[in-house]
Amino acid sequence: MASEKFQNFIDETGDIARFTGRFFKELFKPRFEFNEFFRQCFFIGYKSFPLVAITAFIMGLVITIQSRPTLVEFGAESWLPRMVSVSLIREIAPVITALICAGKIGSGIGAELGSMKVTEQIDAMEVSGTNPFKFLVVTRVITTTLMIPILAVLADAISLYGGFLGANIHGVVSWDLFWNQVFDTLAFGDVVPSIIKTYFFGFAIGIIGCYKGFNTNKGTEGVGIAANSAVVISSLLVFILDLLAVQITDILGLN
Amino acid sequence: MARETTRNLRVGIIVILSTLLLITALYLIGDKQNLFGSTFRISAKFYNVNGLMQGNNVRLSGINVGTVENVEIVADSSVNVVMLIEKRVQPFIKKNAIASVGTDGLMGNKLVEINSVKEDATGVEEGDELETMRPVEVDDMVRTLKLTNDNIQIITSNLRLITDKINSKNSLWSLLMDTGVAENVKSAVVNIKLMTNQSVEVTGNLKEISSGLKNGKGTLGALITDTLFSSHIRQTIVKIEKFSDSAATITGDLSKIVNKIKNGQGSIGVLLNDTMLIYNLNKGISSIDSGALNFNQNMKALKTIWPLKKYFNKTDK
C-alpha cells in the first residue's frame, strides 16, 4: 500500500517533469498566442492585484506591530523600519504573494482546464487545428511566471507602506526617515534574490495548475480534485522553492 | 476589441508601476552603495580593523561619503582598506587627514571615520593613502574600566564611612548644624575686631608713654632717668627692710599671744575655749524663747478682754 503510494508519487513527479519538458518544447515553436497571453495577464495579473494588495498591506502592518515589543525590550525601537523592511522584502511579501496566487490562480487554472478536459473541449480544439497545449498551457504558464514577480514587487511596496503606518501607531517615524532607513538597510542581496525566486514561484503555480487541469479524468468529480490538488501541490512547491532559493543565495554569499 | 484594449491598458499600468517601483528601489539601494555617480578611491593601512567589512560606510566628519570597497591583509600587522569616496567631497579630504575604524553607536556596524587635522594641506587625489589611528579596542576599554570600577568601589565605601561619621551625633555635623555656634563665632569676630581697635589705641598710648619715658617725663620717666631718685629708693628699701624686721618681731609676739589664747589663758582664751559658757548661752537663749512664747499667749489673752477686744476689732477692719 505504502509502496504503491510511493510509486504513484514518483510517477506523478515524472509526469510533471515531462509536462514541464513539453512546455519548454512548445514554448519556442512558432505561432505565439499573444491575444490569449494578454487576456490571461488581465485575469491572472490584474484580477489578483486587489487580493495581493490587501494581504500585503495587512502583513506589513501586522509584522511591524508585532515586532515592536521585542525591539522595545532591547531599546532598539528605532531599528523597526530596518528590521521590518528586511523581513518583508526578503521573505514575507514574496511568499505571501505566491501563496495567495497559488490559491486563487492555481485553483482557477486547475478548474478551468479540468472542466475543459472533461467536457472534451480540449479534444475538440485539437480536431479544429489549434494546438491546445500551446493555447492553454504555454500562455498560462508564461503569464504566471511573469505576473507573480510583478505582483510581488507591488506587494513589497504596499507592505512597506503598511509597515510605515504600523511604525507610526505607537511611535513617530517621518516619511523621509522611514524610507531612508529602509533603503539604508536593504542591499541588492536582499532585493534581487527575492525577486528572482518569485519567477520560480510563478512558474511552479502555472505548471502545477495546468498539469492538474490537463490531466483531469473521472468526470466532474475530477474537476474538484484537480483544483484542490493544484492548490495543495503548488503551495507546497512554493515553500520548497523558497527553501532552495534561500540555500542557493546563502551558498552564493548574497545573504 | 475595445474591452481587450482596456484590459491590456490595466495590465500595462500595473506592469509599468511595478517595474518603476523595482527600478526606483534598486537605484536607491545602489545610490547608498555608491554604485552610480562619480567616485574616487583612497586607501589606508590599519593595524587592526575590528571586523570592518566590504560595504561598510566611510564617514567624513560624521557624514556618510562612501563605502569600504575592499579589505585585505598585506602583512602580519597591516590591513589595507580601499575606500570608494564620492567625488564631491574630494576637496574636503586633506592629504594629512586621519582615518580610524569606529563603530556606529555602541553596538552598530563598523565604519571608517576620516577626521581632518589642524594643519593645512592640499586635497587628496585618486589612490592616496591616509594616515591611520589605532582603533579603540573594546577589550582594552573594559580592562581599564574594571580597574576604575574597583577603585571607585573602595572610594565609595570610604566615603560611606566618612558620611556615617559626619551624620552621627556629637560630631562635626552637629557643630555644622548648630546655628548658635555660628552666632557665637560672629560675635567673637566682632569682639576680636573691637579688641584689635582697642589694642591699636593701646599701642598708640604705649608709644606715647614710651616716648615720654625716653624724654624723662612723669614719675616713671623720672624713675628711669633720674639717678638721684634711685639713691632715695635705696634708702627707702633699707627703711622697708627695718620695718619688716620689726614686723617679724611683732608677728612673733602675736603668735605667742595666739598660743596663749588657744590654751585658755587670759579672758579671751576663757571666752573662746570654755564649753560651759556656750551651754549657758544656749540655755539663756532658749529661756528667752519660752519667755517670748508666754508673752505671745499673754497678748492673745489680752485681745479677748473687753476694752481691748474692741480696739483690736477696729484695727482688724
The per-residue pLDDT for range B101-160, each reduced to its tens digit, is: 888 776 677 888 888 888 888 888 888 888 887 766 677 888 889 999 999 999 999 999
| Stretch B200-207: mean pLDDT | 86
Of A220-229, A237-246, B5-14, B302-311, the one with minimum mean pLDDT is: B302-311
Mutation for testing the B interface, residue in A39, A40, A42, A161 having most B CBs under 10 Å: A42
B25/A156 touch (CB, cutoff 8 Å), yes or no: yes
Quick check: B11 contacting A, CB < 8 Å?
yes
Going by pLDDT thresholds of 50, 70 and 90, the confidence category of residue A116 is: very high
SS3 A28: coil
Q: Are A217 and A225 in contact (CB under 8 A)?
A: no
Please judge whether B33 and A187 are an interchain contact, meaning their C-beta atoms are less than 8 angstroms apart: yes
Please tell me if residue B22 touches chain A, with a CB cutoff of 8 Å: yes
Chain B contact for A246 (CB, 8 A cutoff): no
Give the whole-number percent of chain A exceeding pLDDT 90.
Answer: 61
The mean pLDDT value of chain B amounts to 81
Whether the Cβ atoms of residue A122 and residue A116 lie closer than 8 Å to each other:
yes
Q: Hey, are the CB atoms on A39 and B4 less than 8 Å from each other?
A: yes
Q: Give chain A's radius of gyration (CA, Å).
A: 21
d(CA A230, CA A227): 5
| pLDDT above 90 (res A243) | yes
Higher pLDDT, B179 or A233: A233
Distance from CA of B185 to the nearest CA of A (A): 56
Q: Three-state secondary structure along chain A?
A: CHHHHHHHHHHHHHHHHHHHHHHHHHHCCCCCCHHHHHHHHHHHHHCCHHHHHHHHHHHHHHHHHHHHHHHHHCCCHHHHHHHHHHHHHHHHHHHHHHHHHHHHHHHHHHHHHHHHHHCCHHHHHHHCCCCHHHHHHHHHHHHHHHHHHHHHHHHHHHHHHHHHHHHHHHCCCCHHHHHHHHHHHCCHHHHHHHHHHHHHHHHHHHHHHHHHHHCCCCHHHHHHHHHHHHHHHHHHHHHHHHHHHHHHHHHCCCC
Looking at every residue in chain A, the average pLDDT score rounds to 91
Which one is predicted more confidently, A145 or B169? A145
* Interval A154-171: pLDDT, tens: 999 999 999 999 999 888
Is the pLDDT confidence value at B204 over 70?
Answer: yes
Quote the CA–CA distance of A175 and A81 in Å, as a whole number: 11
Is A75 at the interface with chain B, CB within 8 A? Answer: no
Sorting pLDDT into bands at 50, 70 and 90, what band is B231? confident
pLDDT (tens digit, 9 = 90+) per residue, A119-144? 989 889 889 888 888 889 999 999 99
DSSP states along B104-118: STTTS-EEEEEE--S
Residues in chain B within 8 Å Cβ distance of A71: none
d(CA B57, CA B52) in angstroms, rounded, equals 10
Query: What pLDDT sits at residue A187?
Result: 86
Domain ranges of chain A: 33-251
Nearest to residue B56, comparing CAs of B44, B45, B69? B69
**In one letter, which amino acid is B61?**
S
**pLDDT class of B222 with cuts at 50, 70, 90:** low
pLDDT at A147: 93
Tell me how far apart the alpha carbons of residues B117 and B195 are, in angstroms, rounded to a whole number. 65
What's this model's pTM, rounded to 2 decimal places? Answer: 0.61
> Do residues A207 and A146 touch, judged by C-beta distance below 8 A?
no
Which three cell numbers, joined as nine digits, stand for B126? Answer: 585618486
Average of per-residue pLDDT across B299-307: 76
State the pLDDT at residue A199.
Answer: 95
pLDDT digits over A37-53, tens only? 899 999 998 999 999 99
* Contact flag B29-A151 (C-beta cutoff 8 Å): no
Closest CA to A255 of A191, A197, A198, A196: A191
Q: Are A49 and A20 within 8 A, CB to CB?
A: no
Does position B223 have pLDDT exceeding 70, yes or no? Answer: no
Task: Answer whether residue A88 shows pLDDT above 90.
Answer: yes
**Overall average pLDDT of the A185-213 stretch:** 92
A13 class by beta-carbon count within 10 Å (0-12 exposed, 13-18 middle, 19+ buried): exposed
Number of H helices, E strands in chain A: 12, 0
Cβ atoms A98, A205 nearer than 8 A? yes
Phi and psi dihedrals of A136, rounded to 5? Answer: -95, -50
